[in-house]
Amino acid sequence: MNPEQTAIEVKVEDQRLAGTLLTPASSFPGILFVHGWGGSQETDLVRAREIAALGCVCLTFDLRGHAGTKSQFESVTREQNLNDLIAAYDALVQHPAVDRSAIAIVGSSYGAYLAALLTSERAVRWLAFRVPALYRDDEWNVAKRQLDRQVLAAYRRSFVSPRDNRVLRACTQFRGDVLIIESEHDDLIPHETILSYRFSFSAAHSLTYRVISGADHALSQPEHQHAYTSLLMNWTTEMVLGSRGAGQSRAQASPPHVIS
C-alpha cells in the first residue's frame, strides 16, 4: 500500500515551515523525524516513506534556519527550534489517523537533542537517536550558529551528569523505549557524549545501543546510510509495530502515513 503524500505547512509563531505528510487510513502510530543542524527534511524522507509503508503516519519538516528559511541560519536559537519541534508534534497528533498514545521521535544529532527536550513538553513513547548532540545549558537564547565550537567540543569530550544538563535530566524522566546509534569515527559527537545519554536513560523501558562500524558523523558512505536505515527499520518494526500485534497493555496503535 503506497501512502498518500501531501505538502503541508507547520505554523510556529509568525512563520510557516514546509513539511510533508504521508498518510494511511485508520489509527496508526505517529512518527516525527527531526533533522540535524544544517540539514533538512530531505534527509529523512526516504526512511519516512519506508516506515509509513509499514503502517505509520510519519511527519518530516524543516527547522527554522534551514531549507526555505535558510536566511535565518545565522540567527535562529535553540529555543526557537524547540518551538518548531513542538509545533510539528502538535500538527502530527492532530491528524485524524494518528494514535496519540503511540508517538515516536526519530532525531539525528541536533535533532536528537531537541527531541530529548520535547519529552518534557509532550507525550512520547519511543525515541530513536542517531549521534545525539549535547549542548551546555547556558546561552540558550544565543543564536545556535554563534555558540563557541571549541567550548562545545571540550564539553562533549567529558562525561556530563544529568544534574548538570537540562537535556540529560529530561532523559532520566523518560519511561519509553530508546534506540541510540553511534558512528564509530564521529568527529563531532565523541563516545563520551553517547555515554552521557546512555547513562541518563536509566528509567527507560528498554535501551538499544548500536555502533555503525567505520561510519563518520554524516554517514557519508552509502553503506553506512544503508546500515542506519536497516537499524532504524528493524527497531521500528520491533518496538512500534510490534506493540500493535503483541496486545501489550501499554497504548496500542494501528496502520501508515507521511507528513513533511
pLDDT in tens, 132-186: 999 999 999 999 999 999 999 999 999 999 999 999 999 999 999 999 999 999 9
pLDDT category at 248 given cuts 50, 70, 90 is very low
Distance, in Å, from the CA atom of 41 to the CA atom of 62, rounded to the nearest integer, reads 5
Q: Which residues of 154-181 are buried (b: 16+ CB within 10 A; e: fewer)?
A: ebbeeebebeebebbbbbeebebbbbbb
Q: How confident is the model at residue 23 (pLDDT cuts 50, 70, 90)?
A: confident
Asked if 109 and 36 touch (Cβ cutoff 8 Å), the reply is yes
Domain that holds residue 14: 4-259
Query: What pLDDT does residue 4 have?
Result: 73
CATH number of domain containing 169: 3.40.50.1820
Note the pLDDT tens digit of each residue in 52-110.
998 899 999 999 999 999 999 999 999 999 999 999 999 999 998 899 999 999 999 99
Q: How far is it, in rounded angstroms, from Cα 172 to Cα 198?
A: 10
d(CA 260, CA 20): 2
Give how many domains the chain has, as a whole number.
1
Per the listing, cell 530513536 goes with 128
Q: Among the listed ranges 1-5, 193-197, 210-214, 243-247, which one has the minimum average pLDDT value? A: 243-247
Helices (H), the chain: 42-55, 78-93, 110-118, 149-156, 166-172, 191-200, 222-236, 242-246
Q: Tell me the pLDDT band of 253, cut-offs 50, 70 and 90.
A: very low
Own/partner contacts of 157-162, CB < 8 Å, gap of 24 or more, are 157/190, 157/192, 158/192, 159/192, 159/195, 159/196, 159/199, 160/134, 160/193, 160/196, 161/196, 162/199, 162/200
What's the pTM?
Answer: 0.87
Residues 18-24 have a mean pLDDT of 83
